[in-house]
Amino acid sequence: MAGFIELMLERFKVYREPGYYKRFDYWWAMVIDLDRCTGCGACVTACQAENNTPVVGEEECGKGRNLSWIRIERYIEGEYPNVKVKFIPVLCPQCDRAPCEVACPVYATYHNQDGLNVQVYNRCVGTFTCATYCPYDVRRFNWFTYNKKNFLKGNGGSSTSFEPPLDQQLNPDVSVREMGVMEKCTFCIQRIRAAKDRAKDENRPIRDGEIQPACVQTCPTKALTFGDLNNPKSRIAQLAGLSTAGDLHYLRESGSKISDISSNPRTYRLLEDLNAAPTIFYLKRVMKNGSSTAGHE
Amino acid sequence: MAHQQQGTSNISYREVNDDVIKSMTETGRGFYLVLAVCIVGLALTFGLPWAYQIYVGQGVTGLQSPEYWGLYLTNFVFWIGISHSGTLLSAILFITQTPWRRSIYRSAEAMTFFSVVTAATMVFIHMGRPWNFYWPFPYPNQREMWTNFQSPLMFDVFAIGTYSTSSFLFLYFGSIPDLAAVRDRVTGWRKRFYGALALGWRGTDREWHLLQKAYTFCAVFIIPLAVSVHSIVSWDFASSKIPGLNKTIFAPYFVIGAIYSGTAGIITLMVILRRALKFEKYITKVHFDKLGMLLVVMSLLWTYVNVTEVFTGWYANTSYENEALKYRMFTTPSAYLFWLMIACNAFFPLLYIFRKIRLSIVASLLISIGINLGMWIERFLIIETSLPRKFLPFMWRDYHPSWVEWSITAGSFIFFTSLFVLFVKFWPSFSIYEIKEDIGIPMERKGR
């Protein structure tokens, strides 16, 4: 019986990963160095431009309906003059055991072979369950069809979103979403796909650093790093302190804490105790007095 | 004797037929007035706002990140809860051969079916793209798309589908002899209509036998089903990681709440029906007495489960759970709602301990409406005080429903009422043959 199950799993793997994927396996991940982050917000702007995210205007932002896929969370502690400000960029951590994926009744969100948590806009029926289940609150909903003029003014769909000539700046590689669908950070999957195509034509794996999502590309202080975690020699594996194949295997198979695995004492994952296995690794900020703190708490 | 207990012993067979059929064939001006109010109200509070929402987008609601679930889901859970007593109560009382069930069960079962239908509309209203409503059903299609059987929402699709189908069948099977009785007494289009519905019932021995079998099967089938339906609805919430929702007690918590609110719903309905249709001689104070006893038990159970629910949150002692609990009870802008709920559901129903209160129609009406108000608040609080306090404090934000949501909430009550108004006109709303069983055989009674 066990042999049969193994055989079926092997078959399933072949079915899932034809051709190219059989030879080259990726696990996309990101490292965010909070010591380098200045909280400038360039990543937020870059993401907005790259991914055709509508600008919804002041009123809708006030209601908590801004559609930016990455945000800089600010936490202010203490009273003047002893004020401490902490900040941390939060984007979809593409959890390995994602709570959102089990929630969707129609498979509009699923885990792809590259370890990405993928959102299929066309399939989404808008039950909101994925966004509710998401502990990181990184999912964004299209409350209106932002790319056409709304028939009633004052109901979102502010005039700033994609009115001519602004429609000329839309990214042709990314779909413009209609109302009623959920969306979220994709790690710029259009760039990943393009790089994979190129690598396939040249019959080689994707080189480390070949792909840069918009936020990573824009970051002036290089606080964000993107790469393949399956490759122990990649820059992110080094930064996160996961530089042996054994580390990665352990990380993937067990639910243990990153601090038990990583050789870098600064590495942590946001809300790790929820056991969603996020694949964004934050590096704690080192303070003047030598103590190190996470972005928040 | 059963009939002596209920004070129905001095009614003749003919009178029962006459009363029920009169309520269906003789339509007064009052009925048309109520119907007109229902239709206009439905269009204004339900139809138009929903059309507006579909046209413009979900943005017309007060939902935002992270408050993605709002009044619509509150109403969904509320109506599923209301549906829980009709059929369940009827089935349990049928199996235990309780005599006072007979004159109330038909409308209780109808209440179940209509509130499931109302709950289902809430799901479609809640969807971002309701025109794709059929996608969560597993049907073979050219795109080779399949549904996600891991999803608690998927369980919901099946649970509610099964529940509405079987509660309709339960209602229908029990009505067949009455539909035949109506068929034999009416003329014109009604004759054809009820003739088709009665499925050629002749009242032979064999037919009664088969009916009894089918009905008993349904009753036995529905009891575990009703428990599972609300457990599954609770898993929509409990299988998330959200503080305040991620609790193992949620299934019994929801089921008990559902039976509680459903029983209260039946009492409200009984008071209105016996007044509107002048059925005082069939729905007697005995019924209110018994249902009142049931409510006291449910109230105590509800209190116990609520205390346990709060206790498990407190005992977890994580900063998330503590914050969610604090928010629910004290710091939310509508914190008084929590205490109003406790008063309505834990304290006022205890008045039912006194027989005098149980026999008072006015007190019954007030307490039962209070319970359902409290139960609506409970569902509201479960959702609206958990989601605004998720894990990352940067995203904390309070929820303010928009007028569209309030309007559709009111509309859902009108929707339910409209269905019920049509039901009492087109369906024998009391079980003719079972009330007759209650009265006893006329020949035997003569001597008394």
Nearest residue of chain A to residue B70 (CA atoms): A128
Are the beta carbons of A64 and B65 separated by less than 8 Å?
yes
A209 inside 8 A of chain B by CB: no
Nearest residue of chain A to residue B157 (CA atoms): A105
Q: Is A148 exposed, middle or buried (0-12, 13-18, 19+ CB in 10 A)?
A: middle
Are the beta carbons of B59 and A274 separated by less than 8 Å?
no
Are the beta carbons of B127 and A107 separated by less than 8 Å?
no
Q: How far is the alpha carbon of A39 from chain B, nearest alpha carbon, in Å?
A: 15
Nearest residue of chain B to residue A66 (CA atoms): B65
Q: Where are the domains of chain A?
A: 20-284
- Each residue of B42-60: pLDDT tens digit? 999 999 999 999 988 898 8
pLDDT, mean of residues B15-40: 84
CB contacts under 8 A, A 158-187 vs B, are 179-182
Whole-Å CA distances, B213 to B9, B34, B102, B173, B263: 28, 39, 18, 10, 27
- Each residue of A131-147: pLDDT tens digit? 999 999 999 999 888 76
B151 inside 8 A of chain A by CB: yes
Q: How far is the alpha carbon of A179 from chain B, nearest alpha carbon, in Å?
A: 6
B390 inside 8 A of chain A by CB: yes
Q: Say if domain A20-284 classifies as CATH 3.30.70.20.
A: yes
**Tokens for B121?**
């509309």
B138 inside 8 A of chain A by CB: no
Helices B71-95 and B361-384, packing angle to 10 deg: 130
Are the beta carbons of A102 and B395 separated by less than 8 Å?
no
- Identity at A65, one-letter amino acid code: R
Instruction: Report d(CA B151, CA B147) in Å as an integer.
Output: 9
pLDDT, mean of residues B37-41: 94
Give the lowest-confidence range in A216-225, B3-12, B73-82: B3-12
Angle at A257 between CA A252 and CA A136, to 5 degrees: 85
More confident residue, B288 or B442: B288
Name which of A90, A99, A84 is nearest A47 in CA terms.
A90
Question: Rg of chain B's alpha carbons, rounded to an integer?
Answer: 23
Are the beta carbons of B129 and A180 separated by less than 8 Å?
yes
Q: Does the pLDDT of residue A155 top 50, yes or no?
A: no
Mutate which: B148, B149, B398, vs A, most A CBs within 10 A: B148
Q: Does the pLDDT of residue A253 top 80, yes or no?
A: no
Helices B361-384 and B285-316, packing angle to 10 deg: 20
More confident residue, B345 or A9: B345
pLDDT, mean of residues B21-30: 80
Question: Which pLDDT value is given to residue A158?
Answer: 46
**Tokens for A244?**
């042996």
Residues B326/B327/B330/B331 CA torsion (nearest 10 deg): 130
Question: Which pLDDT value is given to residue A294?
Answer: 59
Question: Which run of H or of E encompasses A110?
Answer: strand A109-111
Domains of chain B, with CATH numbers? 13-138+145-446 (1.20.1630.10)
Mutate which: A125, A274, A280, vs B, most B CBs within 10 A: A125
Cβ pair B21, B186 in contact under 8 A: yes
B154 inside 8 A of chain A by CB: yes
What 3-state class would DSSP assign to B357?
A: helix
Other C-beta atoms closer than 10 Å to the C-beta of A135 total 24
Mutate which: A63, A109, A142, A150, vs B, most B CBs within 10 A: A63
Q: Which of A105, A140, A157 sits opposite B157 (nearest CB)?
A: A105
A276 inside 8 A of chain B by CB: yes
* Mean pLDDT over the full length of chain B: 87
Sort out which chain B residues have CB atoms less than 8 A from A127's CB and list them: 126-128, 153
Question: Which pLDDT value is given to residue A156?
Answer: 45
CB contacts under 8 A, B 231-250 vs A, are 236, 239-242
Q: Does the pLDDT of residue B16 top 80, yes or no?
A: no
Q: Does the pLDDT of residue A296 top 50, yes or no?
A: no
Q: Which residue has the tokens 């992110």?
A: A236
Chains A and B: how many Cβ contacts under 8 Å? 152
Whole-Å CA distances, A134 to A138, B1, B386: 7, 60, 13
Question: Which pLDDT value is given to residue B432?
Answer: 78
Q: Which residue has the tokens 């449910």?
A: B298
Cβ pair B7, B434 in contact under 8 A: no
B64 inside 8 A of chain A by CB: yes
> For residue A104, what are the contacts with CB-CB under 8 A and spacing of at least 6?
A110, A127, A129, A130, B148, B151, B153
Q: How far is the alpha carbon of B325 from chain A, nearest alpha carbon, in Å?
A: 17
- Identity at B80, one-letter amino acid code: I
Question: Which pLDDT value is given to residue A148?
Answer: 61
Are the beta carbons of B63 and A137 separated by less than 8 Å?
no
Nearest residue of chain A to residue B59 (CA atoms): A143
Are the beta carbons of B135 and A141 separated by less than 8 Å?
no
- Each residue of A158-191: pLDDT tens digit? 445 677 777 788 899 998 888 899 999 999 999 9
Whether the ω angle into residue B66 lies within 30 degrees of 0, i.e. cis, is yes
Cβ pair B93, B104 in contact under 8 A: no
- The share of chain B scoring above pLDDT 70, in percent, equals 95
**Tokens for A229?**
């975690």
A255 inside 8 A of chain B by CB: no
Are the beta carbons of B69 and A132 separated by less than 8 Å?
yes
Question: Which pLDDT value is given to residue A293?
Answer: 61
- Each residue of B202-211: pLDDT tens digit? 888 999 999 9
- Each residue of A59-109: pLDDT tens digit? 888 888 888 999 999 988 888 888 888 889 999 999 988 999 999 999 999
- Each residue of B221-252: pLDDT tens digit? 888 898 899 999 999 999 999 988 988 899 99
Q: Does the pLDDT of residue B76 top 90, yes or no?
A: yes
- The share of chain B scoring above pLDDT 90, in percent, equals 41
ipTM of the complex: 0.86
pLDDT, mean of residues A51-58: 85
Sort out which chain B residues have CB atoms less than 8 A from A128's CB and list them: 63, 68-69, 126, 128
